[in-house]
Structure 1
Amino acid sequence: MSKIDTMSVNAIRILSADGVQKANSGHPGLPLGAAAMAYELWAKHMKHNPANPKWPNRDRFVLSGGHGSMLLYSLLHLFGYGLTKEDLEQFRQDGSLTPGHPEYGHTVGVEATTGPLGAGMAMAVGMAMAEAHLAAKFNKEGYPVVDHYTYVLGGDGCMMEGITSEAMSLAGTLGLGKLIVLYDSNKISIEGDTDIAFTEDVKKRFEAYGFQTLVVEDGNNLEEIGAAIEAAKADLTRPSMITIKTKIGYGSPKEGMASAHGEPLGADNIKALRENLGWPSDTPFEVPEEVYENYKSIAKKNAQIEEEWNKLFESYCKEYPEMKKLWDQYHDENAAKHLIDNEEFWAYDDKADATRNLSGQVINRIKDHLPNFIGGSADLAPSTKTLMKDEESFSKDNYGGRNLHFGVRELAMAGIGNGMALHGGLRPYVSTFFVFSDYVKPMARLSALMEMPLTYVLTHDSIGVGEDGPTHEPIEQLAMLRAMPNFTVYRPADATETIAAWYYAITSTKTPTALVLSRQNLPQLAGSSKEALKGAYIISDSKKEVPDAIIIASGSEVQLGLGAQEELLKEGIDVRVVSMPSMDVFEQQSEEYKESILPKNVRARVAVEALSYFGWGRYVGLDGTTIAMNSFGASAPANVLFEKFGFTVDNVVKAVKSVL
């Protein structure tokens, strides 16, 4: 290792340790141990240009072990991505660009929000799938305009998490040859030596997945690391996993100790680290100018790589103008907005149908308008109705397919969907039964946090599931998803509302959307309209200027509200019926609009929804009531269950009378 390489690696270590020490909070162990592999990758093998962090053909790097964020921040600073020394000094402080775990969209150069271990592994698989798909769609002979690798760095914790097994099993099945996993193997977790809970042969596990597996015995040997990376890049038929054996907290007195993982080293240990590394300065955050010059020269070479790609892409666009037009369509986040006035898109058959079936019809309309629309389910497409007709399946032999098959891997599916959305150029959706949103939730939360407009198609939405019983009947899941910030939930009542929900989802640019859909058939409702795009609207109004009461419902229960309205009118009670497919969207409307739908002077209110009560209090108030579930479901035909649990017109009528 040359002197300048040694100093450049140690600069990462010193800056990382200083950042954690100044914050008096953080994780110095990973950056100290993994600095050499990170430097070797970023400096000598990875295509990236700090001057244009978003150029489309850059290699992607995901730090799955997001607790080691100072490693990434140090790299971004040294390579000139815009993070200043002052930013490093503000590590983990309010409003800084260097939060405790990397946040996509907050810090330039961060490709994914990581922290929950294993999440970055799944997102990297999604990025590699996106690259493979776009390459299949756009590359022409002599014009590899989509040709880059995805690298993901994770440690023992990532390897223990189940999401990694799910995602990497699929990656191997798909033969994603441009996915390279760097395994920071230091055999330490928070509680001590990993042998207390983790003794399997990870290399053999990845071999079983179908990976090329490589081992670097000395995590500080740049030549050995570099040779392994090049071997990984050379095998385009299989993804690769490189086990790199490191020492957590390398160079400090805490080297190899669990205490190096998640606490500052301490002033004395920082001083010893500097001495052990032969660092020339005792001043925190001070890096010799020659080290900065080295990083600048590397960045300059990378800028030339992008310039070469720009010339290639310019020639490509001239030779294939139709592909340039398609490229622009793929990368236009507003491409679907024209559908608002498309009569064919909004058309529907008047027969009763399940909203999952109606959603399937909409999916097959969208795919003809959005060529970058891609998605699938966790082995449930026949049930969730998410298969695109006349489209091929994405597979090892056909990366151009638009139908994705995730297998029974809900958690990884959502993480992979995030990765595909993060990559850019695609509009992905994922799907499973609504009750299994419990498996999906951690990655859905990351969708919301990253502002990724991934669409979640969640079917079999209530006790209407019927005979499968309480294990498959969601109760609390709707409240769970509604509680999440920056996450939109739609539970449509019929065809028009289902189309509106899909329109909202595919035109969203900053918010993920869940479409919660019925298994059972629902009637097409006379009063439903595009007003569903406002989250709630009057589907059938009272004839009085001030209605006697308001019935609020979503999904399959809207019809109950309408039936109750008819029965009540016979008794001289005139009520308004409000369909509320999305609380989230309704809350975004103006106060004037919300008042026009739910006027404060009408306190007699009844909410009806065949899921948990939780969340309806803000709409029915202290004087209203809710017909909802306060228990798990049961195994019986759906019509039996709706009557058993009180979801009938008669019960809604009684509830309205009780609040008058």
Structure 2
Amino acid sequence: MDKLEQLAINAVRVLAADAVQRANSGHPGTPMGLAPIGHVLWAKIMNYNPKDPNWAGRDRFVLSCGHACLLQYAYLYLTGYDIQLEDLKNFRQLHSITAGHPEYGLTPGIEVTTGPLGQGFANGVGMGIAQKMLANRFNKTDFPVFDYNIYAICSDGDMMEGISSEAASIAGHLGLGSLVYLYDDNQITIEGSTSLAFNEDVAERFRSYGWHVQRVADGNDTGRIEEAIQKGKEEKKRPSLIIVRTQIGYGSPNKAGTASAHGAPLGVDEVRKVKENFGFNPDVSFEIPSEVFTYYQQIGNQGMEKQEAWKKLWENYSKQFPELAEAYSLAASGELPGDWDADLPVFEPSDKGMATRKASGKALTAIANYLPLLVGGAADLAPSTDTLIENLGSFSVDNPDGRNLHFGIREHAMGAILNGITLTKGFIAYGATFLIFSDYMRPPIRLAAIMGIRPIYVFTHDSIGLGEDGTTHQPVEQLVGLRSVPNLVVIRPADANETSYGWKAAISHTTGPVALILTRQNIPVLDQERFYPACNLKRGAYILSEPPKGQEPEIILMGSGSEVHLLIEAQTELYKSGIWARVVSFPSWELFDKQDQAYKEKVFPVTIRKRIAVEAASPVGWCKYVGDEGLVIGLDHFGESAPGEELMHEFGFTPENIIQSAKSLLGRV
């Protein structure tokens, strides 16, 4: 390593120490230890263009240990992304673009929001799946248009989290050769040495997963690091892990190699000593030697040349393979083909009915042929969730053209992998499991909502109606939990036709994730001629059925999913007692809350204050819609193991109970 490179690496270390000290908050030690790896990646290895951070042919970088974000911020700033030195000075401050952990959409050059350990590791696996799909579908001889790599830096903490094991296992199984991960083996966590809780042989563990594994004994040996990364790039049939032994807080005379360098500022005096140790002026903060800044800017400028070369390749590709180029360009634009929903199924009225999971499967298959980058699968539950796309094959080492993904029994990794796929422009990714197991994937759901990206979740077996599997599998609190996540749209369709509308809404929604909540049991298919001319699922709630002409409603019955048909039955019986009820189908709180006040007043006039909400789940949250004079028929306890119909009757989800509740509310008992 020449003197300029060493100076450049040390400048990043000092920058990290200064920024954390100024913020009086953060993690200085890890970026200080990782600076040589960062230098090799940004100066020697990765293809990127700071002036166009999203060009399709770029390499992807994921900082799974997001607490080390100053490493990423420093190199983004130095290589010419739209980040200023002032942004580094405002690290962790209000309205700054340099948050305490990397945030997609906030900081130019950040590929994915990371911070909760292990998430970035699994996000990269999703990116690797998407890359392999793109390469298989679009690459041609002499036209490697999608031949990029996914680089990630992972910490000891990432390796301890279970999600990394789940994701590493499936990455090895799928032979994702585009993954090159660097493990920052600094052997320190917040509590002290990793030996307190972690002594496994990580190398052997990853070899057993089917990864290519290398070791670099000295985290300052940039030549050996570069050599190892190049070997990782050359390994096309297996993902690569490079274990690099580093020292946390490298260069700090009193705190290097200790837990005190991990999650707190080094202290004013220690930062001075760091600067003196590296030959910097201890009285100057945020010092970037001019030759270092020029050096990295020149490297960043080379990215424009790399992108121009890729553009020429793409132009020639487009001439040779115009249909493929057009297909990718349309998908990447985010626009949907004009006829994508032409074959969405319409279901005939039926008292025997259909489970909404079954209707969902038919809708999914109908739209998949129009959307070539719609991909997904289930956590080993495709037959139960009806999420296997017919005739489109399973994605595997031997069949990279398949569009059905098999995540195995790995709900947590599935959620994060979906995020990685979705972050690859053009893809629409879905994942399925039982609603109860959405709890296993809450972290990636939350991160998708933070990022405003659009994975689709298919959660079936949505209530006590699933029956004999009992309390462990019967969701009660999951619906309200999902509804509490900002920017997540939850849709619980009332029947097969609403399910078709639900898929249409989910595919059309582009500003955040969508969860479709579906039944295991059959429920009636409502008569479209009677009800669906007014169907307005996209508005969240709508008037499904009114009293006979000339009668004004005096009570509103509202609900979602499998309980809506109970409301219709109750409405009919109430007429016999001279009680006029309006029935409102309420599949999505989030979509309804976005409507203007005039529409809300149309559905829920302030003059109709008697209201009943019915849902076989926690009643929490419905008070917003039923008001002070209404009531909720819900579940404030767990279910039991018994046939679903018996449980519904046992816990009051019957037309009779709704009728009695309405009469009581109106004082007409």
Task: Specify the alignment match of 2:361 in structure 1.
Answer: 360
Offset at residue 499 of structure 1 (A): 1.1
Q: What are the Cα deviations for residues 445-497 of structure 1, in whole angstroms up to 9, with x where unaligned?
A: 00100001100000000001101111111000000000010000000011221
Counterpart in the other structure of 2:71: 71
Kept in 2, the 8 Å contact 1:546–1:602? The answer is no
Q: Secondary structure at the match of 1:312?
A: helix
Deviations 1:294-324 (A, max 9, x none): 1122122222121111111000001111112
Contact 1:134 1:400 survives alignment (8 Å): no
Displacement after TM superposition at 1:391 (Å): 0.6
Q: Are the equivalent residues in 2 in contact too, given 1:62–1:112 (CA < 8 A)?
A: yes
Q: Give the match for residue 206 of structure 1.
A: 206
Shift of 1:221: 0.7
CA distance in 1, matches of 2:210, 2:77: 36
Provide the rounded CA distance (Å) in 1 between the counterparts of 2:143 and 2:329: 17
Kindly state the Cα deviation for residue 208 of structure 1 after the two structures are TM-superposed.
Answer: 0.7
Deviations 1:414-448 (A, max 9, x none): 00000001121211101100000000111100010
Aligned-pair CA distance for 1:334: 2.6
Alignment of 1:151-300 (within 5 A): 151-252=151-252, 253-279=254-280, 282-300=283-301
CA gap of 1:448–1:394, structure 2 versus 1, over 3 A, is same
Per-residue deviation at 1:339?
A: 4.7
Query: Structure 1 residue 280: deviation in Å?
Result: 5.1
In the TM superposition, what is the alpha-carbon distance from 1:620 to its structure 2 partner? 1.1
Percent of pairs identical after alignment?
49
Query: What residue is the counterpart of 1:431 in the other structure?
Result: 432
Q: Is structure 2 residue 142 aligned with structure 1 residue 142?
A: yes
Separation in 1 of the partners of 2:554 and 2:103? 49
Q: Which residue of 2 aligns with 1:482?
A: 483
Give secondary structure in 1 for the equivalent of 2:354.
Answer: coil
C-alpha deviations, 1:76-123, integer Å up to 9, x for none?
110110110101010001101101111100110000000100000010
C-alpha distance in 2 between matches for 1:620 and 1:73: 48
Question: Secondary structure, in 3 states, of the residue corresponding to 1:116?
Answer: coil
Who is 1:448 aligned against? Answer: 449
Partners of 1:29 and 1:611 in 2: CA distance: 47
Matching residue within 551, 558, 562 for 1:556:
562
- Work out whether 1:601 is the aligned partner of 2:607: yes
Could you tell me how far apart the structure 2 residues matched to 1:331 and 1:41 are? Answer: 27
Distance in 2 (CA, whole Å) between partners of 1:339 and 1:594 is 30
* 1:541 counterpart letter in structure 2: E
In the alignment, residue 263 of structure 1 is paired with which amino acid?
Answer: A
CA-to-partner distance for each residue in 1:566-603, whole Å, 9 max, x for gaps? 01000000000000000110000001101100111211
Partner of 2:505: 504
Partners in 1 of 2:642 and 2:145 — Cα distance? 55
Q: Deviation per CA, 1:377-429: give whole Å up to 9, x if none.
A: 00000000000100111111122210000000000000000000112121110
CA distance in 1, matches of 2:107, 2:544: 44
Using the TM superposition, give the Cα deviation of residue 346 of structure 1 relative to its aligned residue in structure 2, in angstroms. 4.8
Matched, 1:125 2:125: yes
> What SS does the aligned partner of 1:560 have?
helix
Cα deviation per residue 1:315-368 (whole Å; 9 max; x = unaligned)? 00011111121112221323156556x3x3252243410000000001101101
Corresponding residue SS for 2:105: coil
2:207 alignment partner AA = E
Counterpart secondary structure, 2:61:
strand
State the TM-score, normalizing by the size of structure 1.
0.98
Matches within 5 A, 1:359-508: 359-508=360-509
Using a 3 Å threshold, how does the CA distance of structure 1 residues 545 and 288 change in structure 2: closer, same or farther? farther
The code of the aligned residue for 1:576 comes to R
Output the CA distance in 2 between the equivalents of 1:573 and 1:312.
71
Contact 1:333 1:507 in 2 (8 A): no
Alignment of 1:42-81 (within 5 A): 42-81=42-81
The CA RMSD over aligned residues, in Å, is 1.2
SS of corresponding position for 1:369? coil
Letter in 1 for 2:189: S
2:632 paired residue number:
626
Contact 2:14 2:286 in 1 (8 A): yes
Distance 1:572 1:545 in 2: 10
Per-residue deviation, residues 194-241 of structure 1 (Å, max 9, x unmatched)? 101011111111111100110000001100100110111111111000
Q: Which residue of 1 is the match for residue 621 of structure 2?
A: 615
Q: Counterparts in 2 of 1:637-652, with a 5 A limit?
A: 637-652=643-658
| Contact 2:69 2:100 (C-alpha < 8 Å) held by counterparts | yes
The whole-number CA distance in structure 2 between the counterparts of 1:280 and 1:234 is: 42
Shift of 1:281: 6.4
Q: Which residue matches 1:345?
A: 344
Q: 8 Å contact 2:345–2:366 — kept in the other structure? A: no
Match of 1:570, as an amino acid? K
The letter of the residue matching 1:533 is: K
Name the residue aligned to 1:304: 305
Q: Is the 8 A contact 1:65 1:154 kept in 2?
A: yes
Paired amino acid for 1:540: S
Contact 1:496 1:530 (8 Å CA) reproduced: no
Measure how far apart 1:16 and its partner are.
1.2
Q: Does 1:537 align with 2:539?
A: no
What do residues 142-170 of structure 1 show as CA deviations (whole Å, max 9, x unaligned)?
Answer: 10110000011111000000000000000
Q: Does structure 2 retain, via aligned residues, the 8 Å contact 1:67–1:100?
A: yes
Shift of 1:564: 0.4
Amino acid at match of 1:42: W
How far residue 288 of structure 1 moved from its aligned partner, in angstroms, is 1.0
Query: Could you tell me which amino acid in structure 1 is paired with residue 542 of structure 2?
Result: Y
Tell me which moved more, 537-546 or 487-496.
537-546
CA 1:546/1:20 → structure 2, altered by over 3 Å: closer, same or farther? farther
What amino acid maps onto 1:291 in structure 2? V
- Deviation of residue 546 (structure 1)? 4.0
Q: Is the 1:433–1:460 contact (alpha carbons within 8 Å) kept by the matching residues of 2?
A: yes
State the one-letter code of the partner of 2:546: D
In structure 2, relative to structure 1, the CA distance for the partners of 1:143 and 1:88 (3 Å cut) is same
> Are 1:658 and 2:664 an aligned pair?
yes
Whichever residue aligns with residue 102 of structure 2, its letter is P
Alignment gaps of 5+ in structure 2: none
Structure 1 residues 132-191: Cα deviation after superposition (integer angstroms, max 9, x where no partner) = 001111011110110000011111000000000000000000010110111001000000
Task: Measure the CA separation in 1 of the matches of 2:201 and 2:219.
Answer: 18
